[in-house]
Amino acid sequence: MKYEVAQTEPSIPNVTPPTPAGGFGSTSGGAFGQLNIQNYVSVK
């Protein structure tokens, strides 16, 4: 499972959360690219 993380509380100037329309990599209008996308792997 992939997910994107961005701190929004407390706010950081010029950092906005990703949007469903923008998809992965849309945090702050794409400024971070793929840097804050994480891949969760379940280990059994």
Domain count across the chain:
1
Residue 41 within a domain: no
> Phi/psi at 25 (nearest 5 deg)?
90, 5
Tokens in use for 33? 């690219």
Is it the case that residue 36 has pLDDT exceeding 90? Answer: no
Who's near 20: CB < 8 A, 6+ residues apart? none
Which percentage of the chain shows pLDDT scores above 70?
100
Residue 12 lies in a domain: yes
Q: Is residue 14 part of a domain?
A: yes
Sequence-distant (6+) residues with CB within 8 A of 43 are none
* pLDDT attached to residue 6: 83
Sign, CA torsion 21/16/7/39:
positive
Q: What is the pLDDT of residue 41?
A: 93
Tell me the per-residue pLDDT of 6-23, one tens digit each, with 9 for 90 and over: 888 898 898 888 888 998
Q: Would residue 6 count as lying in a domain?
A: yes
Residue that is written with structure tokens 């407390």 in the block: 10
Domain residue limits at 25: 1-34
In-domain check, residue 21? yes
Residue 40: inside a domain: no
Whether residue 27 is contained in a domain is answered as yes
Residue 42 inside a domain? The answer is no
